[in-house]
Amino acid sequence: MALYETVFIARQDISAKQVEDYAAAFGKIVNDNGGKVKNTESWGLRTLAYKIKKNRKGHYTLMHLDAPHAAVAEMERNMGLNEDILRFMTVSIDKLPEGPSAILKQSDGDDNDRGRDDARGDRKFSRDGDE
């Protein structure tokens, strides 16, 4: 079986519980068709780069799959039919990543920088370039 990474974006006006239920339902489709969901991560409600179907924000979810192509195709078909799913993308990967995704690592790092005045340290610059 092949390894896949799927990210889907759900509408902003549904609850986080509903998004988890959708992820579970899509995972069940993969399992019923001979595949396995290796990992599911919720990235939370994030701002979109542009409006999609009149939505400015969306609930992002990442899924790592070990499944045959037919299972992934059926999951994507169901995502396309669901009105609450704004966008989805599935890519084939060579191996499953270890640990949390880069998005989760980035959000963990933001908390550590809040105590400092400047993210690059204590350097302050004047307008004409003199330090």
Residue 103 belongs to what domain range?
A: 2-109
Structural domain total, the chain: 1
Q: What are the tens digits of pLDDT across the range 75-129?
A: 999 999 999 999 999 999 999 888 778 887 777 766 554 444 444 445 454 455 5
Residue 130 has pLDDT above 70, yes or no: no
User: In this structure, is residue 84 part of a structural domain?
Assistant: yes
Residue 112 and residue 115: Cα distance in Å, rounded? Answer: 7
User: In this structure, is residue 47 part of a structural domain?
Assistant: yes
User: In this structure, is residue 42 part of a structural domain?
Assistant: yes
Provide the whole-model pTM. Answer: 0.77
User: In this structure, is residue 117 part of a structural domain?
Assistant: no
Residue 11 has pLDDT above 60, yes or no: yes
**First-residue to last-residue Cα distance in the chain:** 58
Backbone dihedral angles phi then psi of residue 118, each to the nearest 5 degrees: -130, 135
30, 72 Cβ separation under 8 angstroms? yes
Give the domain CATH number at 104: 3.30.70.60
User: In this structure, is residue 122 part of a structural domain?
Assistant: no
Q: What are the tens digits of pLDDT across the range 36-76?
A: 999 999 999 999 999 999 999 999 999 999 999 999 999 99
